[in-house]
Each structure stands twice: as C-alpha cells, then as structure tokens.
Amino acid sequence: MFTRNNPDYVKALERAEELLSKMTLEEKVIQLTQYVGHDHSYNPEQKDKSGGNNAGRCGSLLAASGVENVNALQKIAVEYTPHNVPIITGCDVIHGYWTTYPIPLGMSCTFEPDLVRKCYGATGKEAKSDGVHWVYAPMVDVVRDSRWGRVAESFGEDTYLASKMSEAAVKGFQNDGGVMACMKHFVAYGACEGGRDYNGCDMSDQTLFNTYIPPFQAGVDAGVGTFMNAFNDINGVPCAGNKRIMTDILRGKMGFDGFVVSDYDAIIELINHGYAEDEKDAALKGFDAGIDVVMLGNLYNNNLPELVSEGKITMEQIDYSVLRILAAKYLIGVMDEPFVDDKTPQPFMTDESLALCREIGRKSLVLLENDGTLPLTREKYKGKKIGLTGPIATEVDNILGCWASCKQPKRTMTLKQAFEEAYPESEVITETGITFLEEDTSVEKALEKMSDCDVIVAAMAERYWDTGEATSKVSLELDADQKEYIEKLSALGKPVVLLISAGRPLLLGDIKDKVNALLYIWAPGSEGAHAVCDVVTGDYSPSARTTMSFPYASGQMPLYYNHRSTGRPAFDKLKFECKYIDCPIGALYPFGYGLSYSEFEYTDAVISKNVFTADETIGLCFNVTNKGNYTADEVVQIYTRDLVGSITRPVKELKAFKKLTLAPGETKNVKIALPVSDLAFWNADMNYVVEPGKFKLWIAHHSDDNAIEFDFEVTE
C-alpha cells in the first residue's frame, strides 16, 4: 500500500505536497509530535502541569480509542490545528482487539500464514470501527532466547517463517482490516544480551542482514506504512539515534517509504544511554537519525524549530518527514473523513470472528508428549469422571494472555465451563488445588477429588503477567508449587494430561515423564477453552509445530536449530567438541516439532535433478500418507544446508513448508518448487549472492529429522 508502486499512494503524496507548501515550520513540527490519548492538556479547557495547553499541538495520539472519545479528540484537532489537519490514533493491538486471538508465538505454530492474515484482518476491522487508525504491530523480531519476555509477541526463531508471518500480518491489517500497520522493533531487539529487555547487542552485518532484517523486509515488500525503532543499541549506537540503521539501511537498502515512530520515550532515553547530552541533543540525534514522530510529548515541538534556525536540521529533512505523515493521512482517508462512523454496528466478537479465533486457537496447540492417553473421546469417557485441576481451570486471564488490547474476560469461557460443555455425558469434577487468584484452595482437597477420577487434566501456567515486555527471567522453570503439585497428581496412579499455558518455551525435562500427555496451549485467546476441548476430545487432531526450540536448561540460551557448525561440531565422539559436559546442546523439543493423533509417512521422494544454475528452480515430488485413524494435518518442512561458503553457513535452514489435511489412509502427492535464488545470502563483502557449490536438502517432519536427504550442486 505505502509504496510508489501504488497509484493511490502517489496521489496521496501529491495532495500532501500541496498542503505541505502552505504550512509553517511550527505547523509541520506538530505533525511530528504524538501525545498520549488521555493527556488532559489536549483538551483546550485544561492545562498541563506547567500551566500550558496542548490543544492542536500534535499530529497523532497514543492509546486513544472508542468512537465517542476519538471523535471528541478529533474535533479538537480539526478546530485547533492550522489547516484543520486531523490526528491519527495509534494503539498496541498485538493479537486481537475485543476478539483476542492466540499470542503471536502461538499463531506462528500453525504454519498457516493465510489463516494468520485472516486473524489480523478481523482484528484491524474491530480496531478501525473503534476509532483506531494505526496499530503498533506486528512485532517481527527474530527471537532465540526464551529468557526474553517479549518472545510471546514474536513469530519465533526462524527467519523464513517469521518473514512469511510478517507479510501475512501486514496485509491482514492494511489490505483487509483497513488500519495502518507498524513493523517493530527495528532492529535486533530480540538479540538483547542475556535475554534482558532493552539491553544492547553486538552484531555483524552478515548476521543482521541474514537473520534479523528479512522479516522487516517482507513487511516493506508488503507495503507497510510505518516502522518503530528498537530500544536497544547495536554495536554501541542506540537505534533511536542510529542514522545508519534508521535511514541508510531502512530507507536506502530496504526501500521503505513510510514514516518511523519512536518506541515510547526512546529518544529521551538517548540521554540514559550516554549518547545524548540533554533533550535538545536527543531531539537532534533522534530526528537526524530518521525518527519522524516522537511518541511521547513535546520533545520535537520544543526543540526542532530552534535546531532548524541553527542549521543543525534542514527544512528539507522536516519536509521529508511531514510529507510522509500527511500522505499516510490522505491514504487511510482520515483527511477526507476525520470522524468515526457512530451509526454502523461494530464488529466486536462476531460469530465469524469467534469461529476464526477457535480455528486458529486449536491449530496453535502443540502436542509435545502422548502415550496414547489423548484424545479423551466422549465415547471412551461416557459415564466416567474427568478431573480438572490447576490454577487456570477456572480463570481466563492466562487464556487471553499478555498484551490483550481490549480483552473481554466476562465473555471468555473458562476451561471448566468448556469441559462441562464438551462432555455432557461425563462427570467433570473441578478443584483447582492451587491458584493465581485470591481465593481459598486446598491441595489436599483437590488430590482427594482427583483420586476418584478416571483421568486427570492438570491446567498449569506461567502467569500471564510474567510474559511480554519487561519480564525477562533467568530461570525458565514452572513455579515450584505447580511442579510439586504435578508430582502429587502423578503419584495418584491415574492418567494425567498436562496443559501448559505460557508465553515462552519453559523447561519441561523433569515434568514430561510424570504425565501421560503434554499439550502446550500458549495463550489461545477468546475461544481458547473451546479450542483446548476440540483437541482433548479428539474433535480435532493437533497440528501445531514448535517455532522456538524448547531447552533442557536455561543455560543453553540462546538456543536455535539453525546455528553454525563450528570447527569442532558436537558429534559426541571426542571430549574436545563444541558441547556441554552436563547438558545436551540440542533442544528437548526442536523447531518444527509437534505430535498428531495420526502418523504420516513420506515415500517416493525425488528431486528434479542434481545440478542447478542460480536462475533455476529445484523441484521436489513425494507422497504423504496418513497411516493413522484420524483425519489430521501434517506440516511438511524443507530444509537445506550450504556445505561450503565464503562465510560459515547454518547447519540447516527452513526454505519451504506446506500444510496438508489427510483422511485416514489417504495419500497425497506433494510438489514443492524451491527457487535456487532462495539460497542466496549476504556474504563477507555484503553482496547478496547464491554461491556455487554443494548443498544438502531434507524433506522433514521437523528440524532434527534427517530421514529423507538429497545432495545437489549449484553451478555458475
């Protein structure tokens, strides 16, 4: 949308140019300023702490929503802003609005970008109807350290998958939902040292461009309207003041043509970094770096006019930024119709959006362990007792997850309610045993009740407020009281199905063997309880695959499948290898892993030939057969390895995937076309090249699966 390939955007730029020519410097700087929506000083009848009034002194508002509220704020804008330029409102809309979808990490486990796009499209429509023009999402940071709390907002550890999800989210928000998207956080925020939020990172250009930039590039190619800087520094230069990152790379190399907003007060924080002397210096360095809009307050209003008069900022720079902001306002239609329609019914939690939420919810649940206990079919448990216990059996906040914008807990079903609905001819006995809520519970009472049941479903969780921003951890263990309770439940001698809700991969090595089945449910959203029951009952066979590696120990962080080999690979043949002496180096559950109620067999695999040139396409053909008794989905994954490169290359890289639905006994012939150009990477000289040489290719169930392997060569 926001590219010069779009005639509507070109026209918007032309209209913006005409308006820009009529504006004074002070009027232009207003467009570069954002206030918080509940800042009462924006009301012309009220004053701020210094006795001033800010009516009409900003071009956008943060966290302003609600039709009546937004229209009232808009009325102030068009009355008090010269040339009657309306505001745009921006909100953190991460995984739903009223309808809450699974957290993005859970959504990525579906391996269904088209389904993810539908969810973001529906989210955009809800937000737009409530006066939101601009959403601060998607977050497309590649993440490889589960200690960082914001992995919950991500699409996981793999660059290729994150890029596909990034494109889907941008098109969902903008093309389908009618709101402007914002790619964040640019860049390498997910590589923060020690998994500690806001921390810096040191990184080569090769790693930056090969791993962290591609999901952002996918958003640019999809026509995203805005970017948000990261809080961290890269190689000692904070992103909020990093001209090379925010201008030379983002606008120069990547071709981004929208505008950039700061993440909250990241520009002021240049002072804390030791990169700016004072607020004026911070304003200079932030704006000169390419941060067009300051999210919080009057930093630009108070300093940019003076910096222009001193010749430190040019009018051309001001015009460049303001032009793109005005063009965005024209393109999304707010210049022509500033006010939100208050007559049209709002599409909040419609039957369609809830059905979509339930679909992606069940497709996001990863079955990690199962000895055959699951599914708990209605036929098998007719007339029997199903025990439901654990801290999230009767509460919904963990089902909805962190960053749930306008969550509706009163309209969200609990697991208890869903299980009672799903098993009308069974007796569902619920006793939490332990709780996150302020209520009396008794482990002994719960154990007594569970001991009388035929099967136990234990619903445990990482507390939702321990995930998201500013929730870094050094330990990835489940709480001690929950682990102890699982042990006591296991000692009862009953089959135990463990549900874990979390915003990151947790340590499960000392838990998995104490239960009969383990279903990782993340935070599955408004229809999450129904989604869980769909899988537990067998109405739907689990199909999700992990998109972050699950560690054996916290000390493995960062952990990811597509690491480099090193000169002493860990083949476990010698002492002097790149490994630990007290822990495996790999994952407990690797990237791309997940069980089903069926088993799938790949046969008759062939590759189109063994030697290719860089402009050709690799053809793969094979059969996939459902060998089980359930209709189920399989995620076919294609990995490659460049065996010898001008720089060391990953041991494996995901290059394609395909999700199939097969009935019991059904065989489908699968054809996958992989362009050789997809093997390109940024080399030591920072040229994007496909290097000739030998490669391996795997058709796999997950990243540790090497059963079907091909060798091929790329020539000049």
Catalytic center residues: 263
* Of residues 235, 127, 226, the one with CA closest to residue 179: 127
Q: Retrieve residue 131's tokens.
A: 């006066």
Distances (CA, A) of 133 to 539, 573, 669: 39, 59, 44
Q: Retrieve residue 373's tokens.
A: 């206990």
Residues 6+ apart with CB under 8 A from 484: none
Long-range contacts of 298-307 (CB under 8 A, 24+ apart): 298/33, 298/54, 298/57, 299/33, 299/267, 299/268, 300/29, 300/32, 300/33, 301/26, 301/29, 301/30, 301/33, 301/57, 303/279, 304/29, 304/32, 305/25, 305/26, 305/29, 306/280, 307/280, 307/283
Q: What is the amino acid identity at position 151?
A: V
**DSSP track, 582-605:** SS-SS-SB-TT--B-SS-EEEEEE
Number of other CB atoms surrounding residue 667 within 10 Å: 15
**Edge-first strand listing for the sheet containing 60-62:** 34-36, 60-62, 88-91, 134-135
Q: What is the amino acid identity at position 510?
A: D
CA torsion, ordered 490, 491, 494, 500, to nearest 10 deg: -10
How many residues comprise the chain?
716
Task: For 340-349, give one letter per residue: b (16+ CB within 10 A) or e.
Answer: beeeeebbbb
- C-alpha gyration radius of the chain: 26
Q: Retrieve residue 216's tokens.
A: 């952002």
How far is 115 from 376, CA to CA, in rounded Å? 27
The H or E element that residue 626 is part of is strand 617-626
Check residue 194 and give left, alpha or beta (phi > 0: left; psi -120 to 50: alpha): left
Residue 536 · residue 375 · CB < 8 Å: yes
How far is 138 from 168, CA to CA, in rounded Å? 10
**Angle at alpha carbon of residue 130, lines to 129 and 135, rounded to 5°:** 90
**DSSP track, 250-274:** IIIIS---SEEE-STTTTTTHHHHT
According to DSSP, residue 537 is labeled H
Name the phi and psi angles at 93, rounded to 5.
-120, 90
Q: What share of the chain is helix, strand, coil (3-state, %, to 5)?
A: 35, 20, 45
